[in-house]
Amino acid sequence: MAVTDWQLQEAKARLSELLKTAQRSGPQQITVRGKPAAVVLSRSEYDRLTAAKPRFVEFIRRSPLKGARLKLARDRSPARAVEL
């Protein structure tokens, strides 16, 4: 998804095209004097980015690895010597 740059004057003059491009091709960046100033997103992309995220515990509970038997072994070798 490549972000396209629009100069502010161009964005104002071609607002309808800017919005359609954001819906069709993804985020569109508006620049002022060559510096990034704003980004136009489609409503669906905005909703996706601002949707409530599950809490960590809920994320783990929904994991496809839930119930998997993992064999984890801790390395019991002594720590390396460090000169202080």
**Lowest-confidence range among 3-7, 23-27, 58-62, 64-68?**
64-68
Average per-residue pLDDT in the chain?
91
Within a domain: 71: no
Domain containing residue 18: CATH number: 3.40.1620.10
Within a domain: 70: no
Between CA 21 and CA 31 the distance in angstroms is: 16
Within a domain: 69: no
Which structural domain range is residue 22 located in?
Answer: 4-61
Position 13 pLDDT exceeds 90 = yes
Tally of structural domains, the chain = 1
Within a domain: 15: yes
Within a domain: 81: no
Are 75 and 53 spatial neighbours (Cβ–Cβ below 8 Å)? no
Within a domain: 37: yes
